[in-house]
Amino acid sequence: MKIGAIIVAAGRGERAGGGIPKQFRRLAGKSVLARSYAALRAHPAIAAIVLVTNPQDTALLEGVDKEVGETTVKIPGGATRSDSVRAGLAAMTQAGVDAVMVHDAARPFVSADLIDRLATALEDHAAIIPVIPVTDALMRLSASGEISEPVDRETLGAAQTPQAFRLDTLIAAHERAAGASYADDAAVIRAAGGAVFAVPGENGNYKLTRPEDFQRAEAEMMSPAITVTGQGFDVHRLEPADRMWLCGVELQEGLGLVGHSDADAGLHAVTDAVLGCAGAGDIGQHFPPSDPQWRGAASDKFLLHALKLLREAGGEIVHADVTLICERPKIGKYRDAMRTRLAEILGLPEARVNIKATTTEKLGFTGRGEGLAAQAIVTARMT
């Protein structure tokens, strides 16, 4: 299922203070909106993202693009949240997605695990939201402020975003609700007579609403993080061929790499480096060459699997550096495409991905043009 994401970022957020809309306030040097965008952008299940924004924020949005290292897709929002989501849905229909996650820009701490749960639940349900239990005692108040009666919290939960929907289901619900405004899209579905199901939310996925929320976030982000480094190395023999794959890019230089999969030495080296960060062994353990299902397989599958294991271990990749060692083919004209493709797979801005090429001055098997070697170093932040 191809999933898109709408980030609702047109609000003013005045209760948060700070003098600018809260989605543009900075946490540990990075804006709230950039953090929310990066969390969704890094997840392999998310195929397209649109930001629903306020035209008054053009200059601030240019700053967000610089932070994330790419030009984000922006569309103007409406007078209400529901209007803004409807504008986002119109953009999603052009993106060719089957489902959509609607996320508040002011929840910058959404985890990959939560996105996984929502994406999995979409296979069985058309509308899913993350919910956390209510732990405080709840009381109903009279107009004068007197407690009138307690409320049973066992049947209650607090809704979060992202909320996930089959695209056609959410569009139909919004068409029926045209002109009305709702607190969230779960309410839109319910108003249209649809069912909404819950998956476990996360306490850490809180919404930044008031000044004390920003104080909490800053304090939590000041806690020390562990940085780990993984390295990978791979070699493949060269042979005459119509094409080869290297760092996810097709090269047509009359040469190919010999291997059980597509023999992409660059992606294999990066995969091993990511597995090293996760403490998860090596590529041969996960994708043994003796297994026929991996014959001719595209190597980005291996790398995406390694990234999933890193996330499950509490890690987030922050930088990758690859060195290709060969006399042939010449790498220069493909370098930019390789960088772009590797950044796309890793979910990183291109500024955090580097591709280098060197030779061994005619020495050894690479110097004789018999093969190609690749080495990679990956840095990850562990929480």
Per-residue model confidence as pLDDT tens digits over 159-184? 999 999 999 999 999 999 877 889 89
Dihedral sign, CA of 172, 175, 177, 182? positive
Instruction: Identify which has the larger pLDDT, 199 or 134.
Output: 199
Taking only the tens place, the pLDDT of each residue in 195-239 is 999 999 999 999 998 889 988 888 887 666 789 999 999 999 999
List the Cα angle 148/150/154 in 5-degree steps. 155
Looking at the structure, tell me whether residues 183 and 232 fall in a common domain.
Answer: no
Looking at the structure, tell me whether residues 52 and 140 fall in a common domain.
Answer: yes
Looking at the structure, tell me whether residues 53 and 193 fall in a common domain.
Answer: yes
Which of 222, 231, 243, 227 has its CA nearest to residue 315?
Answer: 227
Looking at the structure, tell me whether residues 211 and 184 fall in a common domain.
Answer: yes
Mean pLDDT, rounded, for 237-257 = 94
pLDDT at residue number 20: 85
> First CA to last CA across the chain, in angstroms?
29
Of the residues 202, 221, 240, which one is the last residue of a structural domain?
221
Which of the four pLDDT bands, split at 50, 70 and 90, describes residue 271? very high
pLDDT at residue number 18: 59
List the Cα angle 180/91/185 in 5-degree steps. 35
Q: What is the CATH number of the domain that holds 231?
A: 3.30.1330.50
Looking at the structure, tell me whether residues 115 and 27 fall in a common domain.
Answer: yes
Looking at the structure, tell me whether residues 152 and 296 fall in a common domain.
Answer: no
Its pTM stands at: 0.61
Looking at the structure, tell me whether residues 203 and 327 fall in a common domain.
Answer: no
Q: Mean pLDDT check: name the lowest of 8-17, 28-37, 67-76, 343-352.
A: 8-17
Of the residues 187, 205, 221, which one is the last residue of a structural domain?
221
Looking at the structure, tell me whether residues 130 and 48 fall in a common domain.
Answer: yes
Q: Is the pLDDT of residue 296 over 90?
A: no
Cis peptide before 292 (omega within 30 of 0): no
Q: Determine the Cα–Cα distance for residues 208 and 24; give it in Å rounded to an integer.
A: 12
Q: Determine the Cα–Cα distance for residues 249 and 264; give it in Å rounded to an integer.
A: 9
Q: Determine the Cα–Cα distance for residues 165 and 3; give it in Å rounded to an integer.
A: 9
pLDDT at residue number 118: 97
Of the residues 192, 221, 250, which one is the last residue of a structural domain?
221
**In three state form, how does the secondary structure of the chain look?**
CCEEEEEEECCCCHHHCCCCCHHHCEECCEEHHHHHHHHHHCCCCEEEEEEEECHHHHHHHHHHHHHHCCCCCEEECCCCHHHHHHHHHHHHHHCCCCEEEEEECCCCCCCHHHHHHHHHHCCCCCEEEEEEECCCCEEEECCCCCEEEEECHHHCEEECCCEEEEHHHHHHHHHHCCCCCCCCHHHHHHHCCCCCEEEECCCCCCCCCCHHHHHHHHHHHCCCCEEEEEEEEEEEEEEECCCEEECCEEECCCEEECCCCCCCHHHHHHHHHHHHHHCCCCHHHHCCCCCHHHCCCCCHHHHHHHHHHHHHCCEEEEEEEEEEECCCCCCHHHHHHHHHHHHHHHCCCHHHEEEEEECCCCCHHHHCCCEEEEEEEEEEEEC
Mean pLDDT, rounded, for 11-22 = 73
Q: How many domains does the chain have?
A: 2
Mean pLDDT, rounded, for 12-35 = 80
| Domain carrying residue 66 | 3-221
Mean pLDDT, rounded, for 90-105 = 94
pLDDT at residue number 316: 84
- In a 10 Å sphere around its CB, with 0-12 CB exposed, 13-18 middle and 19+ buried, how is residue 69 labelled? middle
Looking at the structure, tell me whether residues 239 and 339 fall in a common domain.
Answer: yes
Looking at the structure, tell me whether residues 145 and 234 fall in a common domain.
Answer: no
Looking at the structure, tell me whether residues 180 and 300 fall in a common domain.
Answer: no
Taking only the tens place, the pLDDT of each residue in 42-77 is 999 999 999 999 989 989 999 899 888 889 999 999
- Polymer length of the chain: 383
Q: Mean pLDDT check: name the lowest of 216-225, 259-268, 286-295, 332-341.
A: 216-225
Strands 127-133 and 197-200: parallel
From residue 190, alpha-carbon distances to 172, 185, 289, 319, 372 in Å are: 12, 9, 50, 43, 58
Tell me which amino acid residue 322 is.
Answer: V
Q: What is the CATH number of the domain that holds 173?
A: 3.90.550.10
Instruction: Identify which has the larger pLDDT, 26 or 188.
Output: 188
Residue-averaged pLDDT of the chain: 91
Looking at the structure, tell me whether residues 214 and 231 fall in a common domain.
Answer: no
The most confident of the ranges 89-93, 206-210, 266-270, 304-308 is: 266-270
Which of the four pLDDT bands, split at 50, 70 and 90, describes residue 258? very high
The most confident of the ranges 23-32, 341-350, 361-370 is: 361-370
Buried b (16+ CB within 10 A) or exposed e, 143-167: eeeeeeeeeeeeeebebbbbbbbbb
Q: Is the pLDDT of residue 14 over 70?
A: no
Mean pLDDT, rounded, for 1-7 = 95
291 backbone φψ class: left, alpha, beta (φ>0; ψ -120 to 50)? beta
